Amino acid sequence: MTDLAYLAATEALRLFRSRELSPVELMTSVIERAEAVEPRINALSERMFEDALLQAKDAERAYRDGSPRPLEGIPVATKDEQPIAGRIASDGSLAYTDHVAEVTHPVIERLQAAGGIVHARTTTPEFCCAGFTHSRLWGLTRNPWNLDYSPGGSSGGSGAALASGTATLATGSDIGGSIRLPAANTGTVGYKPPYGRVPAMPPFNLDHYCHDGPMARTVADCALLQNVIAGPHPRDVVSLRPAVRVPERLGDVAGLRIAYAPNLGDWEIEPEIAANTKAVTDALREAGAIVEEVEVGLRRADVFQAVFIHFGAIFGPMVTRVAAEHGDKLTPYALAFAATAEQAMGDSGAFLTGLELEAAVYAPIGELLDRYDALLCPTTGAPGLLAGEDYVDTKFTVNGVELDDYLEYALTPVFNIASRCPVLNVPSGRASNGMPTGVQIVGRSYDDATVFQVGAAVERVRPWAYRPESL
């Protein structure tokens, strides 16, 4: 049997049902793994191991009694940003270390109701406003594939937990790539659902850039968790009716037309990223898809102008408000984020300008997806960010070009603008520094099933490694 700490959730459920494996055995293995690797990785912001073992014993009885739920007994690490009633809700900030949540996030409600066991919560950057994961509250989270690198952000703790075997499933959230970037950087699968598919909490449920979603090591596991957390919720007016399920049988792409964009426009792309992305297209052709190279033609400057205007209208003011009261407790990157967003929104007509830019960004994507079933492109232009670097005073260079902002290495914000498009990150390979790389599979608006079909086909023809050699 595979090392239990890296066992797929779908396989664990099968073994639970056949009584070949106990939920207690799986939970014990995951906890032992965490105790062994966490001193090096630091992906878990809070551990609830004792209670998790008690819940695993209850799950064992549920299988014995013939009444298991869809996630019964599966260890799930949840992103610390997603609150649990009665527990600290710090947002990764020293400013909120005494703040206790009064409600539980709908995603956590649902996975617990399905029998999933929240054994740990995962680290984020402060206020989830960075593409890396470290904070003054929790310290530095490292990438299990290369400890000199970050697992990405802001759901970096979730990605690192999956890659290091300290969770079977994990949750994330994504406002500019915060699920897809850590998934790409940790060799895992991450899904940004279309806006409204998965319920969220006010006020950010009303922000069309914001998406909560699943993370896993396999496409089937990611679909499993997505099917549990999707659907309308009474506290979220934008949550969609009815609930839509991803099919259980995945991987048939015969005859699908897929647009392959080596670049979305003028992003800098390292040769290793380009080669790995191309290899994924070859795998899809082998699986029976029709893959054609296309040009999207977006300007990076326009995308990030729109993004920071948007942040300046909604997300930025939240950070600015906290900074006004607790500025000495905040990280340099959080203060820099607030300042950049405020500057972008400074003009009274900026919000309208942002909407016009967003419309222009979606136009070529919409035209492509009218002709093709899906669009494939790199997730990032370079294989990872250095661990512990804020990139406030230090510039980030990709392909020999110094970027204005390190976040410009990400191709993910395009699809927060095109927020109704489902996007699945799957691994595309490894870079020479040992870091995993990823591709984004983008679907037509609200077509969840197709991106999972494409992702499963990639996994079948070009499977990826789950466990870093160094751990």
Does some domain include residue 471? no
Closest CA to 190 of 141, 164, 154, 143: 154
The residues near 230 (Cβ < 8 Å, ≥ 6 apart) are 193, 197, 198, 243, 244, 245
Task: Confirm if 225 and 245 have CB atoms less than 8 A apart.
Answer: no
Q: Is 376 within a domain?
A: yes
Q: Cα separation of 398 and 383, whole Å? A: 9
Q: Is 158 a catalytic residue?
A: no
Assess if residue 433 is contained within a domain. yes
**67 catalytic per annotation:** no
Q: Based on the structure, what is the number of domains in the chain?
A: 1
Asked if residue 356 is part of any domain, the answer here is yes
Q: Could you tell me if 164 and 471 are in contact, meaning their C-beta atoms sit under 8 angstroms apart? A: yes
Cα 107 to Cα 387: distance, rounded to the nearest angstrom: 29
Nearest alpha-carbon partner for 76 in 41, 119, 113: 119
| This prediction's pTM | 0.97
Catalytic residue selected from 135, 178, 239, 419: 178
CATH code of residue 395: 3.90.1300.10
Which of the following is catalytic: 22, 29, 45, 79?
79
- Is residue 470, in this structure, part of any structural domain at all? no
* 79 included as an active-site residue: yes
Give me the tens of pLDDT residue by residue for the chain, a chain 471 residues long. 569 999 999 999 999 999 999 999 999 999 999 999 999 999 999 999 999 999 999 999 999 999 999 999 999 999 999 999 999 999 999 999 999 999 999 999 999 999 999 999 999 999 999 999 999 999 999 999 999 999 999 999 999 999 999 999 999 999 999 999 999 999 999 999 999 999 999 999 999 999 999 999 999 999 999 999 999 999 999 999 999 999 999 999 999 999 999 999 999 999 999 999 999 999 999 999 999 999 999 999 999 999 999 998 888 888 888 988 998 999 999 999 988 988 888 776 788 999 999 999 999 999 999 999 999 999 999 999 999 999 999 999 999 999 999 999 999 999 999 999 999 999 999 999 999 999 999 999 999 999 999 999 999 999 999 999 878
In a domain, 16, yes or no: yes
- Residue 468 domain-assigned (yes or no): no
**466 inside domain:** no
Tell me the residue range of the domain where 247 lies.
4-461
